[in-house]
Amino acid sequence: MPISVERLTLATEILHHAAEDNHLVHGHTLPALMLIPTDGAPHLCVLPQGLPQDDHLRDLVRHVGATAIALTGEVWVSEPGIRPETLLRMPLDDLARPEDDPQRQEAILTTGVGITPNGPTTVLNISMIEPDASGSSVLRPVSQAGTGLRTDGTAAYLTSLLI
């Protein structure tokens, strides 16, 4: 049974706001996964060690009866400034890493995917983490268009767990 877009959106927003609150209180956000059934309460899994093995996740999805999944965590947003034709010829070890980019920015990214009546649907919430004058963090919600973040791989992976 498919999940409604509204339920998927609400669950993704709730997880994203919890991640923002965690960052503001503790200075960081632990990765977390929310398994969302069509009806009933979502199941939250905090993932301090990262995502478990695919088989374990698929078993959890089946056990919960999830028709949607939301994943949140902190990411680096970076523009390596490498031309596409150069990028194709570069060895993997020579690719620019966010930690080497002095212009990198930190963000909280929450990706929600669900099987809705219209097929697989993705919902994104992004908040840029910006330092303020006192050294604390300020969170600035942004639309996906302004960040250049590629999330298609995450969305496809999460969708594959549901199918």
Q: What DSSP string describes 26-83?
A: HSS---EEEEEESSS--EEEE-TT----HHHHHHHHHHHTEEEEEEEEEEEE------
Asked whether residue 64 is assigned to any structural domain, the reply reads yes
Average pLDDT estimate for 70-97: 71
The tens digit of pLDDT for each residue in 9-43 reads 999 999 999 999 999 999 889 999 999 998 899 99
68: containing domain: 5-77+99-162
Asked whether residue 15 is assigned to any structural domain, the reply reads yes
- Classify burial at 36, counting beta carbons within 10 Å of its beta carbon; exposed 0-12, middle 13-18, buried 19 or more: buried
- Structurally, the chain folds into a number of domains equal to 1
Would you say residue 78 has pLDDT above 80? no
Asked whether residue 118 is assigned to any structural domain, the reply reads yes
Under the banding of pLDDT at 50, 70 and 90, the label for residue 81 is: low
Asked whether residue 109 is assigned to any structural domain, the reply reads yes
Asked whether residue 89 is assigned to any structural domain, the reply reads no
The tens digit of pLDDT for each residue in 90-146 reads 676 766 666 666 677 888 999 999 999 999 999 999 999 988 888 788 898 887 555
Residue 69: per-residue pLDDT: 97
Asked whether residue 151 is assigned to any structural domain, the reply reads yes
Asked whether residue 24 is assigned to any structural domain, the reply reads yes
- The answer to whether the Cα torsion of 17, 18, 19, 23 is positive or negative is positive
Asked whether residue 84 is assigned to any structural domain, the reply reads no
